[in-house]
Chains A and B, each alone.
Chain A
Amino acid sequence: MNAWLVAATVLLVGLVPCGAVIVRGRIVEALVGLQMAGILQTVVLLLLAEGYHRPAFFDLALVLALLSLAGGLVFARMLERWV
């Protein structure tokens, strides 16, 4: 297990507070927790791609960063109008 995989494993612990905010907080606070979890997962995917020596896996982090932006915007728009 190299330093990249250790860092990815440690970062996965950060998903616990994000999950707690999503489950226990009000709905806009849950959106903030979701955005934080998206950032965290993107960084974890970067670290896993480097840790397993697979440069093609960096595409996953890139796509997740793009999709978490789109998802966050859709959720924010929905929260201000309908929910």
Chain B
Amino acid sequence: MSLSEVAVVFLLVVGVFVELACCLGVLLMDDAYDKLHYLGPAAIAGPLAIAGAVFVRHGFSEAGIKAFLTAALLILASPVLSHATARALYIRRRDHIEPRPRVRR
């Protein structure tokens, strides 16, 4: 087993472990805000490890570049989605998003 194959297997194990741990976190946490925290590592560390494994195997080929593009898209989309979901939850709970008007004396 060569060094690159060991690196591929290691990255695959890391990626799968992170994704499954985040799935369990989403299942076990009580509040939606708490569940939202587990989307971050699942969208950043997991895809990066899997794309890294593909990249170690293929290098700068069609597969490696597309895998990294997919991981980059997930990494960029994750904070946007988390923000939008948290904002929706906040508005549903508080019924407003703007600060209350200041009373002038």
> Interface extent on B, as a size class?
35 or more
Given contacts A17-B26, A36-B23, A42-B74, contact A49 B63 (CB under 8 A): yes
Say whether A35 contacts B39, CB under 8 Å: yes
For chain A, residues 1 to 37, give those with C-beta under 8 angstroms from any C-beta of chain B.
Answer: 3-4, 7, 10-11, 13-15, 17-18, 20-21, 25-26, 28-29, 31-33, 35-36
Interface, chain A (partner B; CB < 8 A): 3-4, 7, 10-11, 13-15, 17-18, 20-21, 25-26, 28-29, 31-33, 35-36, 39-40, 42-43, 46-47, 49-50, 55, 58-59, 61-62, 65-66, 68-69, 72-73, 76-77, 79-80
